[in-house]
Amino acid sequence: MQDLIKMKLNMDGSLSIILEPELKLQLETEFSEIVGKQFEPMRKWFDDKSVPQSEKDKYSNNLTRALAEMNFLYQLLKRCGATDEEIKEWANLPF
């Protein structure tokens, strides 16, 4: 039986996570989708000066959730050994 995930608490208190390759690819894909299909369009809408603040207020919790999801996946990818350059690349995938 193959391990899908291994976690290691390092002597310096940091956490290292090793994912099975398919699970890591799934995580990278999820991050890319959240950034590209959820967060970026939402950010542009919230930044649009023509959208009334009352409309923005209705959806501010959605933006907060999207930011939290993106941050969680970012932190998980970092703990799995991904570099900032790799994460930036996944965030900017055109599909």
The predicted pLDDT at position 53 comes to 96
The predicted pLDDT at position 4 comes to 79
- Pairing state between β 5-9 and 15-19: antiparallel
Paired tokens of 47: 């930044």
The predicted pLDDT at position 46 comes to 95
The residues facing 18 across adjacent strands are 6
The predicted pLDDT at position 1 comes to 57
- Residue 13, burial from CB neighbour count under 10 angstroms (0-12, 13-18, 19+): exposed
Q: What is the distance between the alpha carbons of residues 82 and 87, in angstroms, rounded to a whole number?
A: 7
Taking only the tens of pLDDT, the chain with its 95 residues reads 577 788 888 899 888 888 888 888 898 888 888 888 888 899 999 999 999 999 999 999 998 988 898 899 999 999 888 899 998 888 887 66
Please state the domain extents for the chain.
5-91
